[in-house]
Amino acid sequence: MNIGLFGGTFDPVHCGHIALARASLDRYELKRIYFVPANIPPHKRQPFSSYFHRYAMVALATAAVKSFLPSLLDAPGTVVTGPLGKAAWQKEHESPAGANYSIDTVRRLKQRLRKSDRVFFLIGIDAFREIATWHEAEALFQECEFIVASRPGYSLADVANALPGDLRPSAAVTKPFHKQAAKGDLVLPGATVHLLEGVHQDISATAIREAASKGKPLKKFLDPAVAEYIRKMELYKT
């Protein structure tokens, strides 16, 4: 069974995230996709809204699609003990103060799956360009395959050169890739990357937060339920 994992700050979750998930669901025959808000993201500043607000927004944004499940895998101070998409957990100890690393999240997910299940990690191409700097990046490629939302302006060489050092092909190998758009599948020893075209949306979480702080309409960028939640809870107000 093919399983998707979509991690991020989701501050807030927006239409671009949902578009990537919907396209991945169909293209790669994913049985379900777990949306995993990070409590403490390692590569970004501390989120503007709390973990629990961000989890609530993810739950609202994914409610209409049966295969989309909000997950508590990275919840603060909790250990998930029930189905990953439901609020069933036990507070056994305080979580460490450190960041939520993707390698740990993927491994926790795989502990709850069958050995035959394939895990696909969903990510945008801009974030993927920094993948070599991630904690235990090479090990992460051993644990899962990647679905990368591509967009114009990126080549297959850009994707190959973003891989961690030991997985990165030589310059001689990637030279022809510079003329190829970032599409199709890149299968190399130790790394499998699926490039998904036509899903990129020019939506900025920063711009959404700024618009929310000024009381501007948000439904163009967000699920209406998420936009209403932000309004009611007065999130992102200066």
Q: Walk along the chain (238 residues) in steps of 10 and give the mean pLDDT of each run.
A: 97 96 96 96 83 97 97 78 41 50 96 96 95 96 97 92 94 87 92 92 91 93 96 92
CA 201 – CA 29 distance, rounded (Å): 22
The answer to whether 136 touches 101, Cβ cutoff 8 Å, is: yes
pLDDT at 86: 41
Nearest CA among 103, 110, 78, 108 for reference residue 91: 78
Q: Which helix (H) or strand (E) holds 67?
A: none
Type of residue found at 148? V
CA 43 – CA 73 distance, rounded (Å): 18
CA 232 – CA 105 distance, rounded (Å): 31
For 2-233, give the CATH class.
alpha beta
Provide the token pair at 158.
């850009």
pLDDT at 23: 96
In this structure, the chain runs to a length of 238
Provide the token pair at 29.
């025959």
pLDDT at 83: 43
Type of residue found at 211? A
156 phi, psi to nearest 5 deg: -65, -30
Nearest CA among 200, 43, 214 for reference residue 137: 43
pLDDT at 51: 96
pLDDT at 143: 97
Q: In degrees to the nearest 10, what's the CA dihedral of 169, 186, 195, 74?
A: -70
Provide the token pair at 19.
């578009």
Which residue in the block uniquely carries the two structure tokens 């967000």?
A: 222
- CA 146 to chain centroid, in Å, comes to 10
Centre a 10 Å sphere on the Cβ of residue 135 and count the other Cβ atoms it contains. 15
The answer to whether 133 touches 140, Cβ cutoff 8 Å, is: no
